Amino acid sequence: MKSFYTASFLFFLLIFTGCAYQENLNTFNRLYYEKKPQEAFVFSKKKIKNHLLWQIQSGVSGYIAGNYKESMSILDTAEKLLNHKQAQGILSNSLSNTGATLINDNVKSYQGSIYEGVLINYYKALDALAIGDNSRARVEFNRANDRQRRAKEYYEKEIQKAIKIQKEKYKKDPKASEEINQNTSSEKIDKILNSQYSNLKHFAIYSGFINPLVSYISGLYFSLQGDPKGMDLLKEAYGINHSKIIAQDMFAFQNNKYDKKKYTWIVIEDGKSPTKKEFSIKLPLYLISSEVLYFGLALPQLEEGISFYNSFDIKTKMGSKNFEEISLFDGIIANEFSKQLPYIITRAIISAVYKASMQSVLTQTLGSYAAIGGALFSAATTAADTRITTVFPHKVWLNRIENNKEQINLLADGREILEIGFEDCTKNKNPPLVEKSTPVNEKEYKICKNSNNIIYIRTTKNNIIPKLIIGEKQ
């Protein structure tokens, strides 16, 4: 009964905090994707105290908004918190939270994912490049790629450990084990899960945990610096997406082509990464126990990300050149989500069993009215943890062009979104550079033709936001 009272308190606390979280996230998304990233950044800073999800949201939106030093500081804090959670075990650490078993996983603090850790270091590298700190950029690119390579081994150990701990805790509760016909329930649940999670087959899940965007931009940076490790990273990215542009880059760097002529790479982050929604499973009561009035599961389901544009092109006087898709964030996120599923499902089932056991105890000790109250409590507290960062793109696009033009035009779905002019920086020592959010109706952007350049562009519903992350900054 003590557990029931504890759970009741946590339940009412959860209702309040859960509603506030979703409302805050909706506000952030509206500001970030429909208005201005600066407004989203200011809003998110109010939420970041000891909260990993909001630290990531704030740090990345800070980079997009042009607040590079502040963004890096916030992401430093996020990295420390994520490292602490990973050291304890992203999954197994949460098993000590009794409230999560009695209520649902929303009472836990946000644990984060490996891909988010990779992107924390990645955006810190971009912050460092924006402020001209090349040594810091190298460190962060190295950390991002190291996280990717260690992810597979981490998850293989962590998930098995988490499931084992959770099942052992369940076995220690004889009452819970006695009350439920586990074999019959498991068969029914398995059929429903196989049906509900069949949508994962539609995601282009990447093998391993490598985000080709991170590998490619890191490899391009190191290669332009003359560091041979860049070639290995380019090969890693090419092995995943088989991009023709990346293949050409590999050949060009091997033959020192980019030392003789200067080029500009354009990288576009577009859309919004996958989100999660809840789906519920309610089993017929005759499969459970005559003393149990409610038995249900609530599980998260991944929903595909959305694009704001379907194609991008470079247009010149000589013709047009299509952008290539080099990274699909759905694939990265779905891969990690699929690895977490065994743990998520196991935990949801055990939570449902505990709640059913509680109903049985209430029926036996206090009668049918208490049982009804227990059933209502179980139904009201059965909810999936659908928290996920929303600041990342859906797809990333790439193009490259030689700096032998006076200007080029960027098209999205056939409509001009940005004009890029090339200036001779040996004549003009102060070329105009745009380092801020650029609304769609302000289309001019100028860079130096005498250097290799990387332009990074973030598209939202109402903004085109270009940044020169590598190039002449005189």
- pLDDT recorded at residue 197: 74
Distance CA 249, CA 215 (A): 13
- pLDDT recorded at residue 435: 47
Locate the domains of the chain by residue range. 2-216+271-396
For every one of its 474 residues, what pLDDT tens digit does the chain have, with 9 covering 90 and above? 444 445 444 444 455 455 677 899 999 999 999 999 999 999 999 998 889 999 999 999 999 999 999 999 999 999 999 999 888 776 655 545 544 555 556 667 898 999 999 999 999 999 999 999 999 999 999 999 999 998 877 877 776 676 667 666 656 555 544 444 554 455 655 665 667 677 666 666 676 789 999 999 999 999 999 999 999 999 999 999 999 999 999 999 998 888 789 999 999 999 999 999 988 776 655 445 555 656 677 889 999 999 999 999 999 988 999 999 999 999 999 989 988 888 888 778 777 777 766 766 666 676 666 666 666 666 667 778 899 999 999 999 999 999 998 899 999 999 999 999 999 887 655 544 444 444 444 567 889 999 999 999 999 999 999 999 998 643
Amino acid at 311: S
Give the pTM. Answer: 0.86
Residues near 49 by Cβ (< 8 Å), separated by ≥ 6? Answer: none
- pLDDT recorded at residue 457: 97
